[in-house]
Amino acid sequence: MVKTKGKIFIADTDQKSLVLIKDALKAQGYSIFSAINGAKALEIIIEQLPDIIILGMDLPIIDTQKLRDIISVNPRTDNLALIFMGTPEQLKSVSAMGEKVITKPFRIDALIGTISGIYQKRQKTIELSKENKEIEGNLTQISLIDLLQIFSMNKKDGTITIYSDKGNGFIYLQEGSIINATFEKVEGVKAFYRLLTIKNGKFEFIPHRALTPIRITSTTESLLMEGMRQMDEMKKNKDILPPLDAVVKLKKKLSELPKQVRTITQEVLLLLEFYNKVEDIVDNCTFPDYDVLRVLVALLEKGIIEIVQHVTPRVNEQGGSLLANDEIFRLLEVVSINKHTKLESHRGRVIVLSANYNSLKVFINSINNMPKFTLNNSFAMSGRDDAVFGEIGLVSLTELLSIEIISVPPLMEYGPLWMALSSSAVGVIVLFDKGSKDILGSFLTTVNRFKSAKPLPATYVFVTPDGRDAGTKVVQTLRKIVSSGSDDPVFVLNKDSADSLSIIPTLLRKVINP
């Protein structure tokens, strides 16, 4: 005798299908109950409480939709698994609600597979509800959406790791709430929505207190609802949305566009300065993928951008650049403190603190050939040995972002200027030379006083006209002093130094990767 696996109820007016299903499921070891109308079906369901209910779409007396509604609101039956059976036309209404369906004519092995999947999910749910247990499984057995609902209901702490052909990702839980997600290069809600699209793969849950910044504050329920909505909209509008491999370009200059637009639109327009492909814009924008694609559709409809056949050079390809495109974009995020004004021109400052004019002259000469750099000739050619205060020059990274390099004496009498200048500063370059040995202690004290006005990343440069080796011992001493407890870079600079063009890019990378 075959051991009973569970109870299944079937209601259908098609006697042939009814008999076929009953015989096949009995052979699998299930207990089967059946009816041919909605009224009798409701009576048996309430009495027997089967594990799974299979409903044909044309039941009489109490129709299928009404029967479904009654089952869904009854506390005794609202958690029972439902499968609907009918023609594609009949199943449209329930398919849109995400219900499980079997299309007629059906294969009996497909129905058995669906039923087995429901029982496997039920068993996995029981395992997942157990306290403080590491769990792993397959997303084909239990979906990520179901997993998160179970963990939310049981207020779990821990990390879900997702392994798939699309890549690996992590979802971090705190008392059942999703506090962060990462997937490849993205984080937060954007990463979470991408992970929701993964249907095939493996998962692993490790219970622990997740140590991650809180990037997501929405409830699990609202996140899942919005994520599923976006997936449905993406599928529904796939013929309208630009393909990821499409190449787009701005038809107007950013300075000609209205400044008062939504934050997401500002970010997309800025990214168009750096990237041609839709995929790159979607990947680098901080907003969810579907929202970015909708903005691109709107910009296409308004004639602000166009789809082109050939790739046009981006910022980093036009005459060289100090930083990569994504680095320039992140630097703009730092400099544009107000996220609503990204389409306006922004200027950051790098402050140069020099002990004397001779060191400053070597530094100015060394960066004069730097890409995108324009020297302030009136300052450089002043001829005054004490001219260590003023604008050295400007690094123009994009139409909207430039970095002003300003020399300020590290003397206490200039203290009132430090606070004013540091408000828009992004970093500081400190110049030493042999003559600084005797005043090194007081010089560093002054430098630290300047940095205390605003914590800034720093780069230390030892200037020597005698060649790299002549300053090695001083540099070693200097590195011990300035790098104690920090990773601030130290450079040696002379007229032949190969490092001269690396000083400012190194500092700017410290700004965006503190």
- The predicted pLDDT at position 255 comes to 74
Asked whether residue 453 carries a pLDDT value surpassing 50, the answer given is yes
Q: Are 98 and 117 in contact (CB under 8 A)?
A: no
- The predicted pLDDT at position 467 comes to 54
What percentage of the chain exceeds 70 in pLDDT?
Answer: 83
Question: Would 7-120 and 345-512 be classified into the same CATH topology?
Answer: yes
**Phi, psi angles (nearest 5°) of residue 326:** -70, -30
Q: Are 182 and 160 in contact (CB under 8 A)?
A: no
Q: Which of 92-106, 124-138, 169-183, 487-501 has the lowest mean pLDDT?
A: 124-138
What CA–CA distance (Å, rounded) separates 368 from 376?
Answer: 10
pTM of the model: 0.60
- Residues in Cβ contact with 402 at an 8 Å cutoff, skipping those fewer than 6 apart: 345, 346, 347, 348, 394, 395, 396
Helix 325-335 and helix 263-271: axis angle, to 10°? 140
**Average pLDDT over all residues of the chain:** 81
* Strands (E) located in 19-155: 31-35, 52-56, 81-86, 100-103, 135-138
- The predicted pLDDT at position 483 comes to 56
Give Rg (Cα) of the chain. Answer: 33
Mean per-residue pLDDT, 318-322: 58
**C-beta pairs of 179-182 under 8 Å, 24+ apart in sequence:** 179/210, 179/212, 179/214, 179/215, 179/216, 179/217, 180/210, 180/212, 180/213, 180/214, 180/215, 180/216, 181/215, 181/216
Give the residue with greater pLDDT, 124 vs 6.
6
How does 198-216 read in b/e, with b if 16+ C-beta sit within 10 Å? beebebebebeebeeeebb
- Tell me how many degrees the CA angle 321-325-330 measures, rounded to the nearest 5: 115
* CATH architecture observed for domain 345-512: 3-Layer(aba) Sandwich (3.40)
What tokens does 216 get? Answer: 């997501």
- The predicted pLDDT at position 174 comes to 92
Render pLDDT for 391-441 as a digit per residue (tens, 0 to 9).
888 988 887 788 999 888 777 777 777 767 777 788 888 888 776 666 666
What CA–CA distance (Å, rounded) separates 399 from 253?
Answer: 9
What tokens does 423 get? Answer: 């408000």
Helix 220-236 and helix 289-301: axis angle, to 10°? 40
Asked whether residue 27 carries a pLDDT value surpassing 60, the answer given is yes
How does 343-370 read in b/e, with b if 16+ C-beta sit within 10 Å? beebebbbbbbbbbbebbbbbbebbeeb
Q: Output DSSP code: residue 37.
A: S
What CA–CA distance (Å, rounded) separates 342 from 337?
Answer: 9
- The predicted pLDDT at position 287 comes to 93
Place 335 in a pLDDT band, splitting at 50, 70 and 90.
confident
Asked whether residue 318 carries a pLDDT value surpassing 50, the answer given is no
Asked whether residue 295 carries a pLDDT value surpassing 90, the answer given is yes
- The predicted pLDDT at position 217 comes to 93
- The predicted pLDDT at position 1 comes to 39
Give the residue with greater pLDDT, 177 vs 322.
177
Mean per-residue pLDDT, 356-384: 77
- The predicted pLDDT at position 479 comes to 65
- The predicted pLDDT at position 503 comes to 86
What tokens does 85 get? Answer: 């059976």
Query: Fold for domain 247-318?
Result: Arc Repressor Mutant, subunit A (1.10.10)
Give the residue with greater pLDDT, 217 vs 461.
217
- The predicted pLDDT at position 95 comes to 67
* CATH architecture observed for domain 7-120: 3-Layer(aba) Sandwich (3.40)
What CA–CA distance (Å, rounded) separates 469 from 167?
Answer: 48
Residue 137, beta-bridge partner list:
203
Q: Which of 116-120, 177-181, 426-430 has the lowest mean pLDDT?
A: 116-120
Q: Which of 46-55, 75-84, 193-202, 332-341 has the lowest mean pLDDT?
A: 332-341
Place 2 in a pLDDT band, splitting at 50, 70 and 90.
very low
- The predicted pLDDT at position 338 comes to 60
3-state secondary structure of 307: strand
What tokens does 328 get? Answer: 């320039």
Residue recorded with tokens 């495109």: 325
Residue 21, beta-bridge partner list:
none
Render pLDDT for 31-88 as a digit per residue (tens, 0 to 9).
999 999 989 999 999 888 898 999 988 899 888 889 888 888 887 787 788 888 888 8
Q: How far is CA 237 from CA 230, 240, 241, 288, 322, in A?
A: 10, 5, 6, 16, 40
Render pLDDT for 238-291 as a digit per residue (tens, 0 to 9).
899 999 989 998 888 777 777 778 889 988 988 887 788 899 899 988 899 999
- The predicted pLDDT at position 128 comes to 64
What CA–CA distance (Å, rounded) separates 28 from 108?
Answer: 12
Helix 289-301 and helix 189-196: axis angle, to 10°? 100
Mean per-residue pLDDT, 448-465: 77
Give a three-class secondary structure readout of 189-232: HHHHHHHHCCCCCEEEEECCCCCCCCCCCCCHHHHHHHHHHHHH
Give the distance from CA 110 to its chain's centroid. Answer: 38
What tokens does 36 get? Answer: 């041919």
Domain map (residue ranges) of the chain: 7-120, 129-232, 247-318, 345-512
- The predicted pLDDT at position 478 comes to 64
- The predicted pLDDT at position 92 comes to 80
